[in-house]
Each structure stands twice: as structure tokens, then as C-alpha cells.
Structure 1
Amino acid sequence: MKFSVLGTAGALAGIAIGALMLANPVLAAQQAPSLDEMVSSGALPPVDERLPENPLVVDPVESVGTYGGIWHSALRGGLDNAWIARTVAYDGLVRYDREWKEIIPNLAESWEVSEDSRSYTFHLRKGLKWNNGKPFTADDIAFAVELFKEPSYGAGTFIKNPQNPVTIEVVDETTFTLNFENPNGTIMDELASVNGLTLVSLSKDYCSQFYPKYNENAAEEAKAAGFETWELWMTDRCGWATETIRWANPDLPFMNAWMIDQPLTGDATRVTFKRNPYYWKVDTEGNQLPYIDGLEMRVSDSVEEITLLALNGQIDFQDRHISTVANQPLFYDGQEEGDYRMGQEIQSSSNTMVIQFNMNHVDEKRRELFANKDFRIGISYAIDRQEIIDAVFTGQGEPYQVAPRPESPFYNETYAKQYTEYDPDKAAEAFEKAGLTKGGDGMYTFADGSPLTITIDTIASLRPEWPDMLELIQLQLEAAGIKMEINNIDRTLYYDKRPLGDYDAQVWGGDGGLDVVQEPRYYMAANAESVWAFRWQAWYNGSTPEIAEEPADWAKQQMDLYTQLRGEGDPDKRAELMTQILTIGQENFPVIGVSLPGDTYYIARNNLKNVPDTMFQAYLFPTPAPYDPFQWYFAQE
């Protein structure tokens, strides 16, 4: 199976994109019965007054559904915001289609792109409303751009990109233009991904009360509310994107199918969402979506408890945390008793675990070693990948470096397979080339004879298979003469160590196997997740100049190419540039992979309908959200 996630902005330059679903207004809108009493009492306007003039009409996966029911799932602890992002929050200006091939309309019903890919003009659906009934307009988008330009509010968005500043021009209530200083050929993919929530997440009517520009007393009121600055007050009330704090304020307006009911707080044992009566999508018969009344997410620190809930049929749909290789036979055998089914998920991940040695280590001796390609080659040859695959993944998968997956148009077998054979002799040869010296005890030391022990950080609570993999790697490296220690730490410390530079190596999952262009973190020092060269990426992005370091020439060459790629409107030329970046990555081998993940699975109750049998599993394509959970429904018995 070959498919492309290169994006479509350049190919659509200068062309207005009309609604790709049904374009005609729905003449006879209908609503969920649970809203009838509110409409009858006058507490809520009739459904035709709540919908925009041109609601988005969504084709069901199988059939038009019925209203009612609660979708039960679970969060792993109070910081598990990614599951909320993947179920509730995917409603930006545009979105990906269910095949992950095209960018299609959403809140914006059409758009135009200038020939130079600098200006993007969007046309919102007329009559859109926040869940509180207030109008959603171009002014809300402009407010978000304005606020994100504040140095101390938000981070990591394209609005803050110093290499390509953006301004916004509001044309009228439903029309606005994003004007970039330089060509931006990848912005449509950014807006169609899980990150697209950024621009549509802030209601000016609500959030402006915390902003000094619109409320001269904001700083004073912030202190009265217990916050040192207005920025902290704003963050607490209008947390952006998918940060956990966003789900802690029920007053924050939403444009999503479900809105906060019981918030995600530090001591919450469950989080609930209820239907948004102003949701702007309908089915092909004019029924306002969503079909499901609400969501309930159990908050548990125990994966075992979440797994047991699923086995007992107490979870309606979930993949996150529970769809492990170890659990697969349990779920397979328990389908009849638990009244659920298992569906297939094709992972976008390139690898089960990525080992990132810190080439920017603050210790000069370790920096020199970890930046030495021969050292990394030696480590790779010393790993018996098949032993790990057999022991941890019950034989599923194959030895693989961190490279595009076989399904990707960027697949390169040489890149994927280099240095993956288990060969102690080649490992020893590479270690000697790297300048290591073997002591009398058979263990390698630094060239000056000082002892060498490498420490690899991991988060056991995030991926339970990682400690098992690392324990095997620890034994394998010891047999090869490298002493290694496993450091299991919490996620906050894991991130805090990165800018300090005082860590040997960290492991993470293999992002970028299919979404190669959008997530190049392991192919080049692209972003803050490029832990192997954190200070190089800081130099490239200009985000933390106090720790930035000028990269090696090969890394700078990749950065120049990626800068060209981001400004290129032609998707074929973007692909050519990405191929050059990958070729340099292959040659310099910055990170080490273990194995190619096999397909994974989801659990769905048998009465939950309109769920596709097969899905892609990714973060930027935030499964299951692109498969339109608002059109899922529970079959009536």
C-alpha cells in the first residue's frame, strides 16, 4: 500500500477549494431528543438557528445513526491530554480525509492560495457559533494570532516561527488572510493536523477579558484572582491547543462536537463531556451531529485497571495504553465474553524504540564520543534485534532503523536496514574506530583509560515495553564491552533535562514513519523532539538562543533544504527536497532504531457503529478523530 501525506497546499495554489462533501444547505435539520426540552422552554434556540447557513454534511461510514449513549474510555493519569486531543479536539479550519490523502474543508468551507505560497485566504462558514451561542468569526482567528504573538503566551506554533513571521488581515466577518513573510508550502498540513486547533481555540468574546489590550484592569484582576501576571491568568482560563489545562475550564468556549462537563483537574477520577448544541455538522438526512450524547473518561494510573475495564466490556472504544502486544491474545480470546471486537490499526511509527545519544552533551568527552558515527554504528551492531523482537513482541516486526516505513513513498531499504544485523565483530571494529579502549575486564573505556558507563533515560509508565527492551539491550551491550545503566524517570524530569544538556541518551517512539515531511525529528535536527541534537535544533528554530549551538555542516545542509521545502508550493519539489534530507540522514546515522512495529489494534463494543474496520494510527493524524467519532453511534437493541 502506497500513499502520500505530503500535503496539498502548493498544488492548490490560486484555486478556491469548495466543500468536498455535500454542498447544499440542509433544509430540514433535526436535533438530538435530549435537547428538545431546552428548545421547548426557550433556553435554547431551534436547531435551524443554531446551525450555520452551510453546515458541513458528513457521509456516514456505514449508515445514518441514532441518537443517545455515552462513550466510555479511560485516561492514564491526569496528564493524559493526548487521548482527549484524539477524541474531542480535532476540528480546525481544515482537516485530513479518512484516507489521509487529501486536505478537506472543515470550519473553513473554502480557501485560496497565492501563487507564491505566501498568502492563504480562508472563508469560514457563515453563521458558525461557539458552544455558548456566541458567533465564531474571523475576529476570533485574528485574536488567536495576536495573542500567540505575545512572547510569554503559548509556544511551538507556526505563529511564533521567527524564520517566517505571519500577519493576519480580516476582510470581513467570515474571510481572513494569513500573510507569511516567506513562502509557506507546509502550512496546510500544519492546519490539517492535530495542531490545527491552535488557530480556532480562543474565543475573543471570552478570552479578551484576561488580556490587558482589551481589559485595562487585567493585570490587577489577575492578582486578585491569585495569579502573578495576566499571562498566567490567561493560561489558566484560556489554555491553548491540547495542554491539559485546556480541559480544566468548563467556561472556555469550544467548537467541537462535545464540550467539557466534569473538567480534568488534579484530583479528578473521571472526566466527562456533553454534546455541543451548536455543533455545525449534520448527516446526509439533516440530523445534527454528534449522535452520541457524551463521553466519560475514567482517570486511572493503572494500565492493568484500564485493560480489565476493556476486557469486561466497560470501554466502548480505545486503543491508547491497552493495545499492546502482550494484551493482544487476552483481547482476542475475550471478545465474545466482553461483547467487543478488535479492529486493525496501521501504525505511522517507524520504530518500536529510538535510542538518541546526546551529540550536544555538556561533558566534552561524552559529546565527542556520542557525536562519533562509528560509536553509534558499534552500538547498533551490538544489539540483537531479533532476540528483542522474539522476547518482547512475540516475533512481530523486523529489525529496522529509524527510517520511512515500507508503505511510505520515501521508503529506502538501504536506509531502513543499515547496521541492523547482530555482529559483535563489526561492533568491536566500530568501537575501536571511535577511539574506545578495551580494559582488562573486557569493558571499553574512553581513550584516556577513564571508565565508560552510558545511562539511557526512559519512562516506564509511558511505554511498558521499553524497560523490557532496554534490559535486553543492557545485557547485549555488556557482552559487547559497553556498560549501560537504565534510568527510569518521570516525564517532567525527562523533558527538563533536554535544555540542560546533561544526559547521555533518551529513548522515544519512532515518529515520522509515514508522516515523513511533517515529522522529521529523527532524520534531521528539526524540533525540540530531536533530543539527539537539542542545541542544534535550538540554533535552527531560534526558540532558545541561550543554549543554541551551531550545527555540523551536514546538519546545516539539511536545515537549508528543509527551509527550502517549507517554502516550496509544488509537492513534487517538496518530495525531492525531503529525499535529499533523508539521504544526508542515512549517511550520518544520527539515531538508532530497534524494530519496525507491526500493525496494532483497537477495541470497540459490538454495538458501536460507523467505526472503520481499519485505521491509520498516528499523532499528527490523531486517530480516531479523523474517522469522525461524531458520526459513530450505538445501535439500539
Structure 2
Amino acid sequence: MRIGLFKGWVSTAALAAVIIGAGPALAQQQAPMLDDLVASGDLPPLEERLPSNPLVVEPVESIGTYGGTWRSALRGGLDNAWIARTVAYDGLVRYNREWDEIIPNLAESWEISEDSRTYTFKLREGLKWNNGTPFTSEDIAFAVELFSEPGYGVGSFIKSEQNPVSVEVIDDTTFSLVFEKPNGVILDELAGVGGLTLVSLSKDYCSQFYPKYNESAAEEAQAAGFQTWELWMEDRCGWATETIRWANPELPFMNAWMIEEPLTGTATRATFVRNPYYWKVDTEGNQLPYIDRLTMRVSDSVEEITLMALNGEIDFQDRHIATVINQPIFFDGQEQGDYRLGANIPSSMNTLILQFNLNHVDEKRRELFANKDFRIGVSHLLDREEIIDVVFTGQGEPFQAAPRPESPYYDEEMAKQYTEFDPDAAAAAFEAAGLVRNGEFYTFADGTPLNITIDMISTFRTEWVDMMELLQLQLGAGGLDIELNNIDRTLYYEKRPAGDFDAQIWQGDGGLDVVQEPRYYMPSGDESVWAYRWAQWYQGARPEIAEEPADWAREQMELMRTLQSEGDAAKRDELMKQILAIAKENFPVIGVSLPGNGYYIAKNNLRNVAEPMLHAYLFPTPGPYDPFQWYFAQE
């Protein structure tokens, strides 16, 4: 048998010896908080709770000790991404800590057919949900079945109309994902943050809300106060919306910690407690996790969360508070707060991406924004060194939307093109784009004023306010009349389908996760704001607004479809390089600067925390660094 990895192949035997240990550890010990439950008979003994071959995890530094509460904070009741990154990273497979291989997790092994259509997984024998019911192949089949329902869920690859998937259950621990067409990238999806979808629904629990298995589900839903069974299912097995998934303590989980106090719209905190059926052990056979509980303060105030960290009331966090502005404050407060700063290497490749709307509903603006010369002119008007010095205290360097220097796809020419501050080159480019300088500002060729509005969300990145004010001044000095439109995030997203906006900004995703996050290199999805309607055409979604792309974008899309069906990693790399070469030539979006390293805050007694950490959402930091093996040193 061969097991597919992120890069290349490795035998099952070698993987077992190198990655997860040669077999189950001899000794088996549990957290003291579970002893009384076992003694009373309320909980089975450890050997009955663990699978026959638990995943053996090598600690980052040392074998840990049990106990303690990990304190962190959420920014409001919708801040579920922090939970996904800390609690929920446990899919069929996972990335290793170096982000260069896909390794076993709930699945101990897998086989891939020669045509890359069939992926057969072998689950660990004896896995159990946190309520003690078996986790089997039927749970996988149930998740795919339910997420395929028209009215339920998002389901990522499960709902793909371009390449539908089905499940063949072979036995309790063996099943196959069978795709209609070859799928060369499914393991990356399963190893990323979206991989939790497939292992999120217990058939034993969730089938009671599903009419196929409970003929009274519709009536029971109405009796419970829900108009449809789908709404009832969302409330109880909340994977259809981000806001519900952490709100039901009865929902079974396979993660190291399970819901204790749910995250609801009115919650002031959410808490999680250890899962007594967690299926991982350390190299001495101690059941993980080491830490007993997680508590997350829910606050709408970033200032409050920052103050908590300065006061030593947060044990580990980076989200929301680890900003450039806060870094000097946190650095000076380390001794008083009894914490340390560790390095995060961001996956993002840019501090800000400026996206002009190439699909604008106004024909005149569409023609201008789609003109490469116009975008070149804008780029040459940006004094990136000034922005870096003023906003980022000199950290970073001028950079376009391009893979990071650490990426195997790095292209220095692509990263640096048009980054020179050159007003004369900008003027020449604007003239080539058909603009006319009339007094202080440029106009269209017919004399119509050109006023450009750039949408932004200041609350998402505090440094964006300073960056955009400088950008407005710099572009204004070069003859572009710019208005900044600071709006709510909901409206920000709602404007995209209508197409009636000039430009929006966002951070530069896709610096390391180039293949998985190509939004700025090609119109790949809804986050490709610069060509939203082309992206709908590519996805086969929203036909009422979808538009056929320009030839170069269509070529990229064809290459990406070929890449996604290619089973050979080297060929996928070559195809991605071709996509990037087309992006380099057509220059669809404008970048500002390469981010400097970020940081996290960790209490001094928190151990087994890796440094540095690669930091990304698709590589949901700190999840791949195994927070379940973190522990508090006893003093």
C-alpha cells in the first residue's frame, strides 16, 4: 500500500515509524480529572476509550503534565475562526508541522486510484465520538449525503457541480470517496481547515433531525419552533452556517476538547473541556490533551482583549491583538505580564491588495479598470517605502501580488514589477490608458470627471486606516481623485454581486498556499473581487450575473481545471507556474508591501509551543502545531 502525501510518497511502514511512532505506546495514562468518573463507572477505562492504534504524537519539547485552563478571547459572538484554529483541526488527514506533507490523522492510511478518481481511506479501529458512540465509515457517508441536500450546508467539495463525489462504504473502517472526474487536490482540501466538514456529523445523533431516517422530522421540527427540518438540523448539527456550529453542547465531536459553555449570540464566554475519548497519546502513552479546559472571553472590544493580554490574563493568542501597532506595547510588557512573544511567519504575501473592479457595471469605468496601463500607472504612484516606514516602522519591502520568497513559486520579477515610485512613468501609463490631465486631476477622454471610490473595512485591520490615508494622498498628488469609503463588512460583501463599485481592498492571501488560494492570480472564487463575475462563470454559480472572462483568464481557468484533476505533483507545479506567468503578464491587482513577521503571545509557563510558526488560515495556525500537546509547566 502507498499513502499519498503533500509532496511525493512514503510507505505505510515508514510513515508509522517516522511520523506517528512504531505502534501504540505501552503505558496508558489519563488525566486526573477523569479518575473519579472511571472509578464510579460513569466512564469506561482508558483502554476501552482509545482506538486499537491511537495516533502517537511526538511532543515539540517534552512530555507534558495534565491540568490547567488555556485562556484566550473572541471578538464578538461571530468570531468562530479562532475556535476552528485552536479546537477543531482534526480531519481525516492533516498537514505536518512543516506544512510540506499530508499525514494520517483519523484515517491511518489511504490509497489513490491511478486515475485519481477514487480515494480509499482506512479509519483507526475503535474511534469514538466524545459521547462514546463509534465513529465509522457510515458517519462519513452521512455527512456527504446530508451536505448534498439542496437546502442544507455549504459542504465545500461535497457540493461541487463540476466534480460530484459519492461515498462507497466498504466496512466500518474503510470507505472510498469516488469523484466523477479525476481530483488531484482533494487531499489538500481534507488537510486544510475545510477538512472538518467531512467528519463533523455523527449519524447516530444527527439522523434524528433528517426525514430520511426519522419520518417525523418535519413535524418535530415545527414542534421545536422551526419552520423546516433544515433549520432544525442547522440548529442542532450546525455546519450549515458559521454562527451555529459551536452553539450546541450535545453535538458530538472528535476533537481534543468538546463544548462546555456554547458560543451563542449573547454569550460572554465560550468554554471547552477535554474529550475523554480523544484518540491521540504522547510517546509514553499518556492520553492527550494535557490541558483540561479552554475558556474564551467574548468581547466586542479589541482594547479589552489587548489589556487582558498585557495583564497576563491570556495564555496564548495572536488573533486580533498581534498588530504592528501593539507590538512595541506587548514587547515592553513581557516581564510584567509574564508572557513571551513568539514569531509567526505569515502565509500572506501582502499587507494590502488594491482591487479595481474589472467587471464594473458602468461601461466607461469597466473599460478603464480593465486597462492594464491604468493599473500600472496607479502602481507607480504608490510610494511604498513611505508606507512601510510610516505604518510598519520599516518592516517589509515593496511587493506585488506574488508568491512569498519562501515559496517554491517565488518569482522576483513578478513580485517587484511596477513597484518603483515613478510619477513620470505613471503619467505615461495614464496617457496610454486614455486619461487626460485637466488641472489637478485626470478625467476621462471626453472630459467626464474621474472620481474613484475605494471601499475598506477599518475594523478588520487597524493599520489599513493609515495605509489608505497615505495611499489617498499619494494618488491624489499624482492626479487621481480618490474617496475612501469605510463601510460595514456585511455591506462590503453585498456590493460585490451588484458590480457597482470601483475598488476594494483586502490582505494578500496566497503567499505560501499558492495553489489553494489563487484569488489574486486568477478569478477563482468569490474573494476574487477584481473579477467577481468572471469567477461566477468559472464556478458555474450565479448565472444571472456570470460573465464570460477575457481570453487570458479563460486560459488560466482551463489550466486550473487540468491542475485539479492531475495526480502528479510535479505536473501540478508546472501548471501552477503557467497560471502565475499569465497573472504576471496581465497584472490584475496591485500590491503594496510584503508583510514582516507577525507574532503570538504565550505565557512563560506554557510549553511545547513551536517557534516560529507558519501562519495561515488554510493551514489553521496554531492547529497544525498540536495545541493538544501544549501544557503548563508546574512551578
State whether TM-score is above 0.5: yes
CA contact (8 A) 1:149 1:160 kept: yes
Q: Is 1:8 aligned to residue 5 of structure 2?
A: yes
Residue of structure 2 aligned with 1:499, choices 488, 491, 497: 497
Change (3 A) 1:119 1:13: farther
Q: Does 1:488 align with 2:486?
A: yes
Give the superposition deviation at 1:353: 0.7
- Could you say which residue in structure 1 is the equivalent of 2:122? 123
CA distance in structure 2 between the partners assigned to 1:214 and 1:599 by the alignment: 51
Q: Is the 8 A contact 2:453 2:485 kept in 1?
A: yes
Q: 2:472 pairs with 460, 471, 474, which one?
A: 474
Answer yes or no: is 1:533 the counterpart of 2:556.
Answer: no
Query: Quick one: distance in 2 between partners of 1:628 and 1:602?
Result: 15
Matches within 5 A, 1:201-212: 201-212=200-211
Q: Secondary structure at the match of 1:244?
A: coil
- How far apart, in 2, do the equivalents of 1:209 and 1:528 lie? 34
Give yes or no for the alignment of 1:582 onto 2:580.
yes
Q: Tell me, in whole angstroms, the C-alpha distance in 2 between the residues paired with 1:453 and 1:531.
A: 20
Q: 1:464 aligns with which of 452, 462, 465?
A: 462
User: Does structure 1 conserve the Cα–Cα contact (< 8 Å) formed by 2:152 and 2:240?
Assistant: no
**Unpaired runs of at least 5, structure 1:** 1-6
Distance 1:581 1:156, change over 3 A: farther
Give per-residue Cα distances to partners, 1:269-315, cap 9 Å, x unaligned.
Answer: 11111111110001111111100001011111121111111111110
Given that 1:17 and 1:112 are in contact with CA atoms closer than 8 Å, whether structure 2 keeps it comes out as no
- C-alpha distance in 2, partners of 1:369/1:236? 47
CA contact (8 A) 1:11 1:569 kept: no
Superposed CA RMSD: 1.6
Query: 2:194: which partner in 1?
Result: 195
Deviation per CA, 1:399-433: give whole Å up to 9, x if none.
10010011111111110001111111111111121
Change (3 A) 1:14 1:313: closer
> 2:283 corresponds to which residue?
284
Is contact 1:51–1:279 with CA below 8 Å preserved after alignment?
yes
**Comparing 495-504 with 244-253, which one deviates more in the overlay?**
495-504
Aligned to 2:217: 218
In structure 2, what residue type is equivalent to 1:494?
Y
Counterpart position of 1:367? 366
The whole-number CA distance in structure 2 between the counterparts of 1:497 and 1:249 is: 33
Deviation at 1:439, TM superposition (A): 2.1
Give the aligned partner of residue 183 of structure 1: 182
SS in 2 for 1:616: strand
1:596–1:570 CA distance, 2 compared to 1 (3 A): same
Residue 261 of structure 1 deviates from its aligned partner by 0.9
348-357 vs 150-159, greater mean Cα deviation: 150-159
Identity %: 75
Distance change in 2, residues 1:365/1:13 (3 Å)? farther
Aligned counterparts, 1:360-399, within 5 A: 360-399=359-398
SS of 1:216's partner is coil
How far apart, CA to CA, are the structure 2 residues paired with 1:17 and 1:207?
Answer: 38
Q: Deviations over 1:535-570 (max 9, x none)?
A: 111111112222211110000000000111111111
Q: Distance in 2 between matches of 1:178 and 1:278?
A: 26
Partner secondary structure for residue 509 of structure 1: strand
* Structure 2 residue 86 is matched with structure 1 residue 91: no
CA distance in 1: counterparts of 2:209 and 2:446, whole angstroms: 59
Write the deviation string for residues 331-383 of structure 1: whole angstroms up to 9, x where unpaired.
11111111111111111111001111111112222211111111111111111
> Aligned to 1:606, which of 593, 600, 604?
604
Between the aligned partners of 1:368 and 1:143, the Cα distance in structure 2 is 48
The amino acid of 2:284's aligned partner reads E
Q: 2: distance between equivalents of 1:22 and 1:351?
A: 39
Measured after TM superposition, the shift of residue 18 of structure 1 is 5.2
Is the partner of 1:506 in helix, strand or coil? Answer: strand
Provide TM-score, normalisation by structure 2. 0.97
Q: Which runs of 5+ in 2 are unaligned?
A: none
Contact 1:14 1:113 in 2 (8 A): no
Distance in 2, matches of 1:23 and 1:213, equals 43
Contact 2:325 2:463 in 1 (8 A): no
- Aligned-partner Cα distance in 2 for 1:552–1:15: 46
Which among 610, 617, 631 is matched to residue 615 of structure 2?
Answer: 617
Q: In 2 relative to 1, CA 321–125 (structure 1 residues): closer, same or farther, beyond 3 Å?
A: same
Q: Give the equivalent residue in structure 2 for 1:428.
A: 427
Cα distance in 2 between the residues matched to 1:160 and 1:450? 46
CA distance in 2, matches of 1:269, 1:117: 47
Residue 564 (structure 1) aligned with residue 562 (structure 2): yes
User: Helix, strand or coil for the counterpart of 2:485?
Assistant: strand
Between the aligned partners of 1:52 and 1:244, the Cα distance in structure 2 is: 32
2:318 partner letter: D
Task: Go from structure 1 to structure 2 and tell me whether the alpha carbon gap of 1:190 and 1:594 turns closer, same or farther (over 3 Å shift).
Answer: same
Matched-pair contact (CA < 8 Å) for 1:9–1:187 = no
SS in 2 for 1:352: strand
Map residues 82-481 of structure 1 onto 2, 5 A cutoff: 82-155=81-154, 157-240=156-239, 243-440=242-439, 442-481=440-479
Residue type of the alignment partner of 1:507: I
Aligned amino acid, residue 251 of structure 1: E
Give, in whole Å, the separation in 2 of the partners of 1:175 and 1:363: 54
> Which residue of structure 2 aligns with residue 508 of structure 1?
506
* TM-aligned CA distance change 1:9 to 1:213, over 3 Å: farther
Write the letter of the residue equivalent to 1:483.
D
- The CA distance in 2 between the partners of 1:316 and 1:543, in whole Å, is 43
Of 213-222 and 88-97, deviating more is 213-222
Total equivalences in the alignment: 630
Partners of 2:404 and 2:583 in 1: CA distance: 15
Partner-residue secondary structure (3-state), 1:447? coil
Q: 1:544 to 1:156 in 2, by over 3 A?
A: farther
- 2:587 aligned partner, one-letter code: F
Deviations 1:450-473 (A, max 9, x none): 222111111111111111111110
Shift of 1:156: 5.8
Which amino acid is the alignment partner of residue 457 of structure 2?
I
Alignment deviations for residues 182-208 of structure 1 (CA, whole Å, 9 cap, x no partner): 111111111111111010011111111
- How far, CA to CA, are the matches of 2:276 and 2:80 in structure 1? 24
3-state DSSP class of the match of 2:142?
helix
Query: For the Cα contact (< 8 Å) 1:14–1:115, is it kept in 2?
Result: no
Alpha-carbon distance in 2 for matches of 1:584, 1:395: 32
1:90–1:17: structure 2 CA closer, same or farther, 3 Å change rule?
A: farther
C-alpha contact (below 8 Å) 1:112/1:122 kept by paired residues:
yes
CA distance in 2, matches of 1:467, 1:529: 21
Is the Cα contact below 8 Å between 1:14 and 1:112 reproduced in 2?
no
Note closer, same or farther for the CA distance 1:75–1:394 as it changes in structure 2 (3 Å cut).
Answer: same
| Residue type at the aligned position of 1:204 | K
Which residue does 1:34 correspond to in 2? Answer: 33
Q: Distance in 2 between matches of 1:147 and 1:16?
A: 35
Query: 1:201-251: CA deviations, max 9, x gaps?
Result: 111111111111111222222222222222222112212288231011111
Q: How much has 1:484 moved relative to structure 2? A: 1.1
Partner Cα distance (1:235, 1:446) in 2: 51
The change in CA–CA distance for 1:17 and 1:574 in structure 2 (over 3 A counts) is farther
Aligned partner of 1:407: which letter?
A: E
Q: Is the 8 A contact 1:16 1:111 kept in 2?
A: no
Q: Deviations over 1:42-93 (max 9, x none)?
A: 1111111111111101111111100000000111111111111110010000
Question: What corresponds to 1:4 in structure 2?
Answer: none
Contact 1:82/1:242, CA 8 A, preserved across alignment: no
